[in-house]
Structure 1
């Protein structure tokens, strides 16, 4: 287990893209079609630019020893429910396979929760692939409660 002080969580920079793409491409369970093929890199660069330009989205990395070892993205949404309150959605949580179980995921999620609290948000929510039972136990250990059933429809 790493010391949390050894893990740096910061906003992602464009030069982090190769490491981030490698994290997502290594995730066989996610099934998102991510790849490290050079021809796909412009797609990732376009998405990074959209996220970077958005006031409501932030892409983060976790660094250990100067290397990117994890990532997650947050989005803040405001709805009429909850008397017009805002919530943080945490998405795309990944820890490099050889670094799992070292406290990196916990450091990232705790960082996101602290950000949400600091902004006075009503809640923090996330979704997780139904097959990721270890991840579900991890999120529950951090205080998340399973409360909703999610649905998706692929359009491409």
Structure 2
């Protein structure tokens, strides 16, 4: 099977690796995605996962997927807190366009996030993305007529 690809687009203006070490997040998340993928029948395809950091209100994952060549593409929305919400939050969030997704019927939502339970922004992004993927694969997603769903999930939630 091909290697999974994890992308980190952002709606937060001028977000840099000085604020979030996305390389470290990508390495940690890749290991988790590899474990999750072992529990899935993806018809020999691999995943492209776009983890969008944004000024938003909920952690969510889109209910629908589409094929991108020989891969399935998934989209996760991760709200980044401001510096007023948690000690590791980012001031830049206040300057970014507010893009709430709570009323969007195209997303599954992860339960409310307790920012104080995380030591770093990197820990938060990895955990939120993991919870979103587990939720998606528990409920299931269809792409090009192929259903991707856990038969059972052995990964800790």
TM over 0.5: no
Please indicate the TM-score interval, normalised by the length of the shorter structure. under 0.3
Q: Tell which has more relative contact order, 1 or 2 (C-alpha 8 A, sep 6+).
A: 2
TM-score by length of 2: 0.27
Relative to its length, the structure with more helix (as a share) is 1
TM-score by length of 1: 0.27
